[in-house]
Amino acid sequence: MRSLRLYPSDPRPHRAAPADAPAPARRRRGAWWKFAATSVVLASAFSLTPATGAADSGQVAPADAPAPSPGWTRMWSDDFTAAAGSPIASENWFHDIGHNYPGGPANWGTGEIAYHTDSTQNVYQDGSGNLAIRPLRDAAGNWTSGRIETQRTDFRPPPGGSVAVSARLQLPNGGQGYWPAFWMLGAPFRGNYHNWPGIGEIDIMENVNGQNLTHGVLHCDVAPGGACNEFNGIGNSYDLGAPGGQAGFHTYTMVWSDDPQELRWYVDGNHFHTVTPAQIGQDVWDRAFGSHGFFIILNVAIGGGWPGLPDGTTVSGSPLLVDYVTVDTHPDSGVTP
């Protein structure tokens, strides 16, 4: 896959993934019908960034999202402070239901097997300031889970400025076949479902099989191949260190700047990945980011071309916990919240 160019100001060393590191094999969610033959890429194609900062807290999440950093303005947020068992706030989110978008590829194009529901058995607020997305396996071995999207599709930086999209998450610890994700798609995808990857996909956090890694990836242009080397994308991986992603909360952030144009990925304030127009071409960048906004997706898939199917060791009912999601803007570029 394409070699990665890291943000020049990042002072931390980067090393190749060891031979026994989990392969960040990529599924892709857009030209999905071809994923099975093309979705695997070797771990050595990624640089693995070791953690340098501690998790931002332990097991217990605060009830409120933090105020914006100085100079930043809150554009949108949800801090999930409703009573235990409450559904998502419908003014902020809606559920994706079933195994596919209307007219879209089956199994969300990734081979995942869970049926996504709007049940509060699968997606609910836990009364402790978190949203929980909980996959469940029934007695017959069938899985249900949850996938939600923001109502808003206009998340992008102001002219000359920056937008920061963050979520504070504790990852599920269900093991084999679990695939939680916090990601974004370009607004023109909604209602079309066949214009990926040209409209842009930004994977802010992906994790598979309970491993102590997160993956940040950009998808763009055309598939297969293209400027983003689809169906792999341009990505980097980050070692979450201690406490692990399943044992404590970490904050996952993507900053999109307009001038200079770039995307930057962070975990707990540690920068680990950057993509700029120089890597993909200005015309490709403009098609993905030039005029439209993006929407946010949170989901936990089960199975699929990347994690593989669940097995006898897989635990039913391990939730992705979401303390908050925030979208902040700044009038300047090259800034970090």
Residue 2, domain member (yes or no):
no
In a domain, 295, yes or no: no
Range of the domain at 88: 15-56+69-152+161-199+237-242+249-289+301-330
Residue 130 lies in a domain: yes
Distances (CA, A) of 176 to 190, 194, 271: 30, 30, 28
Q: Identify whether the C-beta of residue 27 lies closer than 8 Å to the C-beta of residue 101.
A: no
275 occurs within a structural domain:
yes
pTM over 0.75: yes
Q: Which residue has the higher pLDDT, 29 or 84?
A: 84
- Cβ atoms of 58 and 248 within 8 Å: the answer is yes
Query: Looking at residue 127, which CATH number applies to its domain?
Result: 2.60.120.200
Number of domains in the chain: 1
Residue 222 resides in a domain: no
Higher-confidence position of 13 and 296: 296
Q: Which whole number is the average pLDDT over 80-87?
A: 98
Residue 61 belongs to a domain: no
Chain segment 178-218, per-residue pLDDT in tens: 999 999 999 999 999 999 999 999 999 999 999 999 999 99
Residue (of 214, 218, 204, 266) closest to 239 by Cα position? 214
Within a domain: 230: no
